[in-house]
């Protein structure tokens, strides 16, 4: 309970709950902290106030691969932090094909209902050319 | 509905159809392709269709929504990794936050999901002599 209180206290200073030295499956993150946990920016704090942040798994890159891993680790209650250099989701043309394994893994994180409604596209106007030509 | 029919209907609307790879930078899209692949099939190795077209930004939004829903996952945007080191117990990552301030983060594992030209491969693994070798064939 003392630990719980500590988390709430920390969060009031816009810092996410510490995950220091906790067992992997930690069900007792206080509800009050969830908003902070899900913030899309790192915490702002005085350097002197809080030591280095710590988590279990650091993921460098928040594209489909990194974000999917984060979602899967979250399902398994493994604390993780994704560091993404871009401010927002990249919108320039990238992957165009989603194969069966891709569909399956989206299903595994619970977004299967969005595959054939939002994610899948029946438009097909991509033009692929080799840059060396 | 017959599940197989349902799959086929999806493919009709979302299938990849034909891939045509054209050379050059001109605007003639009807010229002879270098390579043509027919992906207009429902055949896959699992219960799912083999391929569909997708909109990656929409896919990423759906994935990020799931990340946000987990109290164990955080995605920090605008944070660029600038240094990586490790000892026997932990890995230490320095990153520049959106306010251009260098911060530190440590963890038990680091996963490089930043691509073939990303920091983890180019600035950390390769200088240590670790290279990704190409598969033959």
A61 and A102, same structural domain? yes
Number of structural domains, chain B?
A: 2
Question: Which of A25-39, A71-85, A90-104 is most confident?
Answer: A71-85
Q: Are residues B2 and B48 in the same domain?
A: yes
Query: Does residue A30 carry a pLDDT above 50?
Result: no
A59-88 average pLDDT score: 97
Asked if residues A42 and B93 have their Cβ atoms less than 8 Å apart, the reply is no
Q: Are strands B35-38 and B18-21 parallel, antiparallel or unpaired?
A: antiparallel
- What interhelical angle do B56-69 and A64-75 show, nearest 10? 30
Q: Comparing A99 with B11, which gets the higher pLDDT? A: A99
Of A13, A36, A52, the last residue of a domain is A52
| Span B25-44, average pLDDT | 78
Choose the mutation target among B8, B56, B108 for the interface with A, i.e. most A CBs under 10 Å: B56
In a domain, A41, yes or no: yes
A104 and A60 in a single domain? The answer is yes
Residue B20 lies in a domain: yes
Residues of chain A contacting B97 with CB distance shorter than 8 Å: 41-42
Same domain, A67 and A41: no
Residues B81 and B49 in one domain: no
Q: How far is B136 from chain A (nearest CA, A)?
A: 22
User: Do residue A59 and residue A112 come from a single domain?
Assistant: yes
Contacts of B117 (CB under 8 A, 6+ apart): none
A10, A66: one domain = no
Share of chain B above pLDDT 70, in %: 80
Chain A environment of B106 (Cβ under 8 Å): 52-55, 58
Instruction: Give yes or no: residues B5 and B51 share one domain.
Output: yes
Instruction: Tell me if B63 is assigned to some domain.
Output: no
Domain count, chain A: 2
Alpha helices in A38-121 (DSSP H): 64-75, 100-108, 112-114
Range of the domain at A27: 1-52
């Amino acid at each position: 309970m003392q630990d719980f209180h500590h988390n709430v206290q920390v969060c009031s200073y816009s810092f996410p709950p510490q995950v220091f030295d906790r067992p992997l499956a930690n069900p007792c993150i206080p509800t009050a902290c969830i908003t902070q946990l899900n913030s899309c920016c790192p915490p702002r704090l005085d350097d002197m106030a809080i030591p280095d942040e710590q988590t279990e798994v650091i993921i460098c890159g928040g594209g489909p691969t990194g974000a999917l891993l984060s979602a899967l680790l979250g399902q398994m209650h493994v604390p993780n932090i994704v560091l993404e250099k871009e401010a927002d989701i990249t919108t320039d043309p990238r992957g165009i094909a989603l194969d069966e394994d891709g569909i399956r893994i989206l299903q595994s994180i619970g977004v299967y209902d969005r595959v054939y409604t939002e994610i899948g596209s029946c438009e097909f106007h991509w033009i692929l050319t080799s840059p060396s030509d | 509905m017959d599940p197989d029919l349902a799959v086929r209907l999806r493919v009709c609307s979302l299938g990849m159809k034909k891939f045509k790879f054209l050379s050059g930078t001109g605007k003639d899209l009807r010229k002879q392709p270098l390579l043509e692949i027919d992906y207009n099939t429902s055949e896959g190795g699992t219960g799912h269709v083999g391929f569909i077209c997708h909109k990656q930004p929409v896919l990423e939004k759906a994935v990020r929504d799931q990340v946000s829903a987990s109290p164990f996952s955080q995605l920090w945007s605008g944070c660029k990794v600038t240094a990586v080191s490790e000892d026997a117990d932990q890995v230490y990552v320095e990153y520049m936050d959106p306010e251009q301030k260098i911060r530190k983060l440590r963890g038990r594992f680091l996963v490089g999901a930043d691509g073939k030209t990303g920091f983890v491969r180019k600035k950390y693994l390769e200088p240590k002599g670790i290279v990704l070798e190409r598969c033959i064939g």
